[in-house]
Amino acid sequence: MERDHRAFLEDLLSTASPSGYEVPGQRVWVDYVESFADEVRVDEYGNAVAVHEGDADTDASVAFAGHGDEIGFVVREVTDDGFLTIGRVGGSDKTVVQGQHVTVHTDDGPVEGVVGQTAIHLRDADDDSAPDIAEQHVDIGVEDGETAEDLVEVGDPVTFAQRVRELEDGRLTARGMDNRVGIWAAAEGLRRAVEAGAAATVYAVSTVQEEVGLRGAQMVGFDLDPDAVVACDVTHATDSPGVPGEKSTGVELGEGPVVARGSANHPALVAAVREVADGEGIDVQLQATGTRTGTDADAFYTARGGTPALNLGLPNRYMHTPVEVIDADDLDATADLLGAVGAAADAHAPFGVDI
């Protein structure tokens, strides 16, 4: 991964953007794609779309979409003692919250805190259960509620305070890989399609509020109307200890992006992406999604009477924790594949089925 592309990824990962509070992260994404897109537009809720116009006489279009929001928390109440009670934003996991450093993102700037954890010496030795998030609290270090209310407000978003770290063999860890890697890949896929001289119109999209119900994709899917959408998101790598056998999919870090099959994933688009990957020498893994993908693909494929869609996954360990782990080579391969799909879109469109 080249230095400026890596810097873009780290900027995304270090910028908090919980669902409903995505503006700072969307600004990072827009600033990056503006340098190579013909047009960038943003709607009223912050969904961002970058466009490569392609050739005027080519009637084909494809969109690469990731979601720019992340899970997190929100301040529910400031107590008289100066502690903050919190609620979920998206699918936050109660078992990994206590004992963590967090940042409260206020209109006046960040306020640092910790999620309190009663010391092991003082807890019931027979009870190892984690309390619900609504029963946990953030300690920002003040002595009373009046002082706390001078610093934070009900409704301020809260995220884990984590930085990007390098592990061995090209692995990266951070909070919010889900789904900064998807919007990174969408942007980089667009850039690589532009460099390849794509004749088709190619869109890169960063949606909002996926983690609370695919809301942004529903908005964009109504307006955009491409021939096909590739939704880029993380998917579970099941190659680490502790994954129940019945949950294993065979997906591994370092073995390439994951092409989903079934449900929302249009068979003609699946075939086209696999053909492009084979032609480019890009290894892909397969995953079965018999009912739903759980990604923006589920919203895009029913838009405007039906839009061929595909969920292209990036293997990710420890999803929805502060220590998500991905392989940088998988991420680069995902962007390469998207760029090649954009460059070949006119040869594969339209993506209907023959009956």
CATH match for 73-160 among 1.10.3720.10, 2.40.30.40, 3.40.50.2300, 3.30.1330.40:
2.40.30.40
Q: Which amino acid is at 118?
A: T
The two beta strands, 48-52 and 39-42, are antiparallel
Dist CA 201 CA 159 (whole Å):
36
The 3-state DSSP class for residue 14 equals helix
CATH class of 3-70+175-348: alpha beta
Options 210, 246, 275, 280, the catalytic residue: 210
149 is in an annotated binding site: no
pLDDT of residue 220: 97
Residues of the chain under the 70 pLDDT cut: none
Establish whether 178 is an annotated binding residue. yes
Q: In the prediction, which pLDDT does 126 show?
A: 83
**Token output for 19:** 């669902």
Instruction: Please identify which residue in the block is written with the tokens 């293997």.
Output: 315
Distance from C-alpha of 328 to C-alpha of 3, rounded to nearest angstrom:
13
| DSSP symbol at 101 | E
239 is in an annotated binding site: no
Count of all residues that appear for the chain in the document: 355
Active site residue 210: yes
Task: Confirm or deny that 211 is annotated as ligand binding.
Answer: yes
What residue spans define the domains of the chain?
A: 3-70+175-348, 73-160
What pLDDT, on a 0 to 100 scale, did the predictor assign at position 246? 86
Please check if 67 is assigned to a binding site: yes
Question: Which pLDDT does position 128 carry in this prediction?
Answer: 83
Q: Give yes or no for a contact between 341 and 14, defined as CB atoms under 8 angstroms apart.
A: no
The pLDDT of residue 261 is 98
What is the per-residue pLDDT for 282?
A: 98
With a CB cutoff of 8 Å and minimum separation 6, the contacts of 219 are: 43, 45, 47, 207
